C-alpha cells in the first residue's frame, strides 16, 4: 500500500489508533503531533468514534464558565466552549453590569420545527396544493405514527403549510410539516416524518417527491431576550448614545450587521457547543432569520428607555435540545447542562440567547468606547507567546513585554522570549 496521498483503502474499518498510525505515516504530523492527538483524544476517543466517522482523536476546545448572569430572575452559571480569547470575560463583565436591573428576561414561541417536502412534475401545481391541504388529517396521522415517544410527551404534528414556488426550472410545490419537537432539537425526528410521508404525497399530488429535510430557518422556535443597563452603570450618556449609534449602523448596513451578529454568535455558539448541540444549525438559522425582511440586518437592537437607560432586545431562532444528537451521550454536554441547572430545551434556548445579547452588549460597548483591541491584545499576546514556544512563567513574561512595547507581533514575541531566556529581559 502506498504511504502517500489521501486514498487510504479500508480506513473507516480501522480502529482510531490504527487510523492515527496511517495518517502519521502519510503526513507531516510527526511523533510529537501524534502523541498530542493520543493524549487529547484519550478520554473520549471511543465516544467520538461513535459520534463521527474516521475518528483519530478529538479536538479539545477550552470550556469556561460565564458568571454573573441572571435569566428570568434565576442566577445561572453558563458553560461556554470557545477557542476565542475575551469572549467569556466579556459575558462575565456585561452580565455584572445589568444585575441591578434584574438581568435578562426571555420569552419563546415554543419548540416548533419545520420539515420541507419538495414535490416536482405535477400536472397541476395548484390542484396538488389543494390536495395536500385536504389531506391534513392523513398527514397528521402519518407524522404522529412515526414518533409515539414525542406524542406521549405532548409534542408531534401541529400543522401544514403548502406553497407553489416559482423557480428557474419551473413551478414546484413545497409542503411544510410543522412539528412540536419538545426537548429535542428535532432534525432527525422531523426528517423521519418527511421521508415516511413522501410516498403518500406522491399518490395524493401525482407528482414526484425529491427533498425531504428540515429547514434550519427555525422561525417558529424563536427566543426574544431583553435587558436594561443603567446609564450610570455603563459609564454615562456618551457611552449609551455611542452604543445606540452603533446599533443604528448595524441596522442599516449589512457589512456592519454581519460583524455585529458574529459577536452575538460568539456567545450563543459557545453555549450551543458546550451542550453538544449543533452549532451549524443555530448559525444558519440565525443568519437566515437576520435576512427575513429581504435585507440582512442586525439580530439585536439597542435603544434608550423612557428613563434614559440602555435597552437591548434580540429575537433569534434557537433550535437546541437536551435530548438527541450528542447532547445526551457526551459527558461534557451533560456536565454543562448540570452546571446550568437546565432541565428543559426552553430554558437552554433562553440562556443561550441571553448570553448572545450580553455578549453583544460587551462588544458594542467596547467598540463604541475604547475599541476591542485593548481587551483582546493581552490574551492575543499570551497566544503569541505560546506560539513562539514560551512555557510556564515565560508566557506571562513574554506577553507583558510585548504589550508594554506595544509590539504585539510574533517576531516581537520571539525576540522577547530570547531575551528572557538569555536573562536580558528579566
Ligand atoms: P434524536 O432523533 O436523536 O432524538 C429525538 C427523539 O428523542 C425524539 O424523536 C423522541 O422520540 C425522543 N425523545 C425522548 N425524550 C424526548 C423529549 N423530552 N423531547 C423530545 N423528544 C424526546 O435527535 P433530534 O433532536 O431529532 O435530531 C438532532 C440531531 O440531528 C443533531 O445531532 C443534528 O446535528 C442532526 N441533524 C441536523 C440537521 C440540520 O440541522 N439540517 C440535519 C440532519 C440531522
E-state strands within 201-348: 208-214, 222-229, 300-304, 310-317
Please tell me the distance from the alpha carbon of residue 322 to that of residue 327, in angstroms, as a whole number: 6
Does pLDDT of 5 surpass 90?
Answer: no
Q: Is the CB of 184 under 6 A from ligand 1?
A: yes
- What was the pLDDT predicted at 1? 43
Note whether 176 and 114 are within 8 A (CB): yes
Please tell me the distance from the alpha carbon of residue 357 to that of residue 243, in angstroms, as a whole number: 13
Cα-to-centroid distance, 8 and ligand 1 (Å): 32
How are the residues of the chain apportioned to helix, strand and coil, as percentages rounded to the nearest 5?
50, 20, 30
> Kind of pairing, strands 104-108 and 156-167?
unpaired
- SS3 for 320? coil
> Percent of the chain at pLDDT above 90?
84
- What was the pLDDT predicted at 371? 74
Please tell me the distance from the alpha carbon of residue 28 to that of residue 230, in angstroms, as a whole number: 55
Cα-to-centroid distance, 19 and ligand 1 (Å): 29
Determine which residue's CA is closest to atom 24 belonging to ligand 1.
Answer: 186
The runs of H, that is alpha helices, within 42-160 are 45-51, 87-96, 125-134, 136-146, 148-152
User: Residues with Cβ < 8 Å from 70, sequence gap 6 or more?
Assistant: 76, 95, 98, 99, 102, 103, 104
Does pLDDT of 70 surpass 60?
Answer: yes
Pocket of ligand 1, candidates 189, 317, 328, 348: which has the most ligand atoms within 8 Å of its Cβ, to mutate?
A: 189
Pocket of ligand 1, candidates 144, 185, 317, 319: which has the most ligand atoms within 8 Å of its Cβ, to mutate?
A: 185
Please tell me the distance from the alpha carbon of residue 79 to that of residue 271, in angstroms, as a whole number: 6
- Segment 382-412, tens digit of pLDDT: 889 999 999 999 999 999 999 999 899 999 9
Does pLDDT of 426 surpass 50?
Answer: no
Give the atom of ligand 1 at the shortest distance from the alpha carbon of 280. Answer: 40
Instruction: Identify the bridge partners of residue 302 per DSSP, sorted by sequence position.
Output: 312
To which residue does cell 474516521 refer?
Answer: 54
Confidence of residue 2 (pLDDT cuts 50, 70, 90): very low
197 to each of 117, 157, 177, how far by Cα in Å?
A: 9, 12, 10
Ramachandran quadrant class, 235 (left: phi over 0; alpha: psi -120 to 50; beta: rest) = left
> Percent of the chain at pLDDT above 70?
98
User: Residues with Cβ < 8 Å from 167, sequence gap 6 or more?
Assistant: none
Catalytic residue set: 84, 262, 278, 376
**Rounded to the nearest 10 degrees, what angle do helices 345-368 and 87-96 cross at?**
90
Please tell me the distance from the alpha carbon of residue 18 to that of residue 20, in angstroms, as a whole number: 5
Ramachandran quadrant class, 186 (left: phi over 0; alpha: psi -120 to 50; beta: rest) = left
Cα-to-centroid distance, 186 and ligand 1 (Å): 4
- Segment 267-305, tens digit of pLDDT: 999 999 999 999 999 999 999 999 999 999 999 999 999
Please tell me the distance from the alpha carbon of residue 144 to that of residue 411, in angstroms, as a whole number: 62
Instruction: Identify the bridge partners of residue 90 per DSSP, sorted by sequence position.
Output: none
Amino acid at each position: 500500500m502506498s504511504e502517500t496521498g489521501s486514498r487510504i483503502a479500508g480506513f473507516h474499518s480501522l480502529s482510531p489508533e490504527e487510523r492515527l498510525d496511517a495518517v502519521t505515516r502519510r503526513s507531516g504530523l510527526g511523533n510529537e503531533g501524534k502523541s498530542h492527538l493520543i493524549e487529547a483524544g484519550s478520554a473520549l476517543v471511543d465516544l467520538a468514534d461513535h459520534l463521527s466517522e474516521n475518528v483519530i482523536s478529538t479536538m479539545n476546545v477550552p470550556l469556561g464558565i460565564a458568571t454573573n448572569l441572571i435569566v428570568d430572575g434565576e442566577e445561572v452559571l453558563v458553560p461556554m466552549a470557545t477557542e476565542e480569547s475575551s469572549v467569556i470575560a466579556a459575558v462575565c463583565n456585561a452580565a455584572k453590569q445589568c444585575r441591578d436591573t434584574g438581568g435578562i428576561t426571555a420569552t419563546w414561541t415554543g419548540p416548533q420545527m419545520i420539515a420541507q417536502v419538495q414535490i416536482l412534475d405535477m400536472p397541476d401545481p395548484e390542484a396538488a396544493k389543494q390536495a395536500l391541504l385536504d389531506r391534513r388529517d392523513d398527514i397528521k396521522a402519518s407524522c404522529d405514527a412515526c414518533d409515539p415517544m414525542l406524542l406521549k410527551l405532548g409534542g408531534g404534528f401541529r400543522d401544514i403549510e403548502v406553497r407553489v414556488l416559482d423557480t428557474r426550472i419551473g413551478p414546484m410545490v413545497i409542503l411544510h410539516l410543522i412539528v412540536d419537537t419538545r426537548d429535542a432539537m428535532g432534525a432527525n425526528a422531523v426528517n423521519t416524518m418527511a421521508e415516511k410521508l413522501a410516498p403518500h404525497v406522491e399518490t395524493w399530488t401525482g407528482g414526484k417527491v425529491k427533498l425531504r429535510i428540515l429547514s434550519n430557518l427555525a422561525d417558529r422556535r424563536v427566543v426574544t431576550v431583553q435587558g436594561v443597563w443603567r446609564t450610570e452603570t455603563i459609564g454615562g450618556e456618551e457611552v449609551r448614545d455611542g452604543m445606540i449609534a452603533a446599533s443604528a449602523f448595524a441596522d442599516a448596513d449589512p457589512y456592519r450587521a454581519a460583524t455585529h451578529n458574529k459577536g452575538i454568535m460568539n456567545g450563543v455558539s459557545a453555549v450551543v457547543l458546550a451542550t453538544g448541540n449543533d452549532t451549524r444549525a443555530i448559525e444558519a438559522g440565525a443568519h437566515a432569520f437576520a435576512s427575513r425582511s429581504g435585507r440582512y440586518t442586525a439580530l439585536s437592537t439597542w435603544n434608550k428607555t423612557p428613563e434614559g437607560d440602555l435597552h437591548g432586545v434580540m429575537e433569534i431562532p434557537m433550535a437546541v435540545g437536551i435530548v438527541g444528537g450528542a447532547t445526551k451521550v457526551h459527558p461534557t454536554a451533560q456536565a454543562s447542562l448540570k452546571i446550568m441547572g437546565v432541565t428543559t430545551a426552553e430554558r437552554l434556548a433562553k440562556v443561550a440567547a441571553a448570553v448572545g445579547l450580553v455578549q453583544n452588549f460587551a462588544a458594542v460597548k467596547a467598540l463604541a468606547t475604547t475599541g476591542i483591541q485593548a481587551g483582546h491584545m493581552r490574551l492575543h499576546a499570551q497566544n503569541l507567546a505560546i506560539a513562539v514556544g514560551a512555557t510556564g512563567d515565560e508566557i506571562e513574561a513574554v506577553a507583558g513585554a510585548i504589550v508594554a512595547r506595544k509590539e504585539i507581533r510574533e517576531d516581537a514575541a520571539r525576540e522577547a522570549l530570547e531575551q528572557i531566556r538569555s536573562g536580558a529581559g528579566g
